[in-house]
Amino acid sequence: MTELQTPQAGDDAAPDTDVVALLMRQHGDIRNLFDEVEAAEGDARQEAFRRLVRLLAVHETAEEEVVHPFVRRNVTGGEQVVDDRLAEERSAKETLSALDDMDTNDPKFMAHLLALRADVQEHARAEERYEFTHLRRSADAAGLALLAKGVKAAEAMAPTRPHPGVESAAANMALGPVAALMDRTRDAVRRATGRD
Ligand SMILES: [Fe+2]
Ligand SMILES: [Fe+2]
């Protein structure tokens, strides 16, 4: 499994001041974590799935807090673009909450995971095409850097690499803790971008 291990956020040389580079890297990390979950078995699958859920939770929260509001305000036709993305995110969250209660060894798990993966990837492509390109065109370097601060604050809430001894593979994956993680992430993003 080691060769599939998704790098820790911050391991690569993506510029910390470019919000689009950070978000694209998270899309890549999410894709790789889906690969990890699919390839792993038993406890390793449970643990990889947990990291995936946490990264998805903080990623979507960061987008809701910094990307979508910016696009709504600054991009022509942005209202509709954002409404479409939010609808996709809602449907992905519903699938996620259904999966959350499920044992990753459940025979039905993989079919649900693949459905979630298809939703998440379609959503990520739409964001890249309809939002991220406009972000780069509509924000100056200082604006992109401020948004990047918010995304980095979110990322810090969900390391993509396991921390041995800190959290067990059996740690609670119920929706409650994920919702709490989203709340904490929202607070961290708002603090980082001076909106608390
Ligand atoms: Fe999103
Ligand atoms: Fe995204």
pLDDT (tens, 9 = 90+) of the chain, 196 residues, equals 445 565 555 555 555 788 999 999 999 999 999 999 999 999 999 989 988 988 998 999 999 999 999 999 988 899 999 999 999 988 887 787 778 778 899 999 999 999 999 999 999 999 999 999 888 888 888 888 999 999 999 988 876 555 444 444 334 444 457 778 888 999 999 999 987 7
Closest by Cα among 139, 122, 127 to 64? 127
Tokens of 173: 């994956």
Predicted structure pTM score? 0.84
User: What does the pLDDT read at residue 160?
Assistant: 59
26 alpha carbon – ligand 2 mean position (Å): 7
Tokens of 7: 């790098």
- Residue ranges covered by each domain of the chain: 15-161+169-186
User: What does the pLDDT read at residue 176?
Assistant: 52
User: What does the pLDDT read at residue 1?
Assistant: 44
Helix intervals (H) in the chain: 19-39, 42-62, 68-74, 78-100, 109-127, 133-138, 141-155, 175-192
23 alpha carbon – ligand 2 mean position (Å): 7
Measured distance CA(110)–CA(108) in Å, rounded: 6
45 alpha carbon – ligand 1 mean position (Å): 24
Tokens of 47: 């643990």
Tokens of 24: 């694209």
- By the 8 A CB rule, do 153 and 191 touch? yes
Measured distance CA(41)–CA(39) in Å, rounded: 7
Q: How many CB atoms lie within 10 A of CB 113?
A: 20
Q: Could you name the CATH architecture of 15-161+169-186? A: Up-down Bundle (1.20)
Closest by Cα among 17, 16, 6, 22 to 127? 22
110 alpha carbon – ligand 1 mean position (Å): 22
165 alpha carbon – ligand 1 mean position (Å): 31
Ion ligand 2 nearby residues (CB, 5 A): 127
68 alpha carbon – ligand 1 mean position (Å): 9
Measured distance CA(150)–CA(162) in Å, rounded: 23
User: What does the pLDDT read at residue 34?
Assistant: 96
Closest by Cα among 151, 150, 154, 156 to 194? 150
